[in-house]
Amino acid sequence: MISYISGLLKYISQEYIIVDNGGIGYNIAVSPKTASSLQGIGEEVCIYTYMSVSDNGIALYGFASMEELELFNSIIGVSGIGPKGALGILGSLSPSQFVMAVLTDDIKTLSNAPGIGKKTAQRIVLELKDKLDSSQAIDEKSLGISLSVSDSGEKGEAVQALEVLGFSKSEAVKAVDAVYIDGMTAEKTISLALKVLGR
């Protein structure tokens, strides 16, 4: 198992990169997001990898962070989703957006990923929701949320989580205010607010 490859970036495209390590060029499949996060040709890079061995041959899939790789491993554990499908999901959604979509049953967002239909999205939620929740894969840090004192609490967390999913602050605040009841968890608030927002 190859956990990561570090070396000089020799080639970069939206679908794969080539990294020179000790005179050997490794062809690594990446998502457009991972590709765009890398520096220019000739720069030193460290890519976390997953090696796929199948009847079609051996392929390396690369990620800029361990967080992405861990989610990738979770996604390919879902029945019917292979490495290419998982890479497509992480190419269209950030790790935090993916986790939020799963935990809030946001089938529409998951279905926007290339090659992922409604049934597959539902299967992702069914098979991963409990795993992501129980492992506390979603938290303020992984969401990129920095709560101020005035925004703290379940309502504030729900508003900022909706912002992470792409809604404006005004849209998020309006939707949360429409559904929130004292004592409601952030997860439940987000789920109900998404229905108000049409997702």
Q: What is the pLDDT of residues 173-195, one digit of tens each?
A: 888 988 988 888 888 889 888 88
- pTM > 0.75: no
Tell me the two tokens of residue 145.
């949320």
For Cα atoms 68, 74, 77, give the angle at the middle one, nearest 5 degrees: 140
What's the pLDDT tens digit per position in 133-155?
533 344 444 444 333 333 457 88
Alpha helices in the chain (DSSP H): 32-37, 66-76, 83-92, 95-103, 107-111, 118-134, 140-143, 153-164, 169-179, 186-196
Q: Are 162 and 171 in contact (CB under 8 A)?
A: yes
Within its chain, how far is the Cα of 108 from the centroid?
Answer: 15
Give the residue, 127 or 115, on which the prediction is more confident.
127
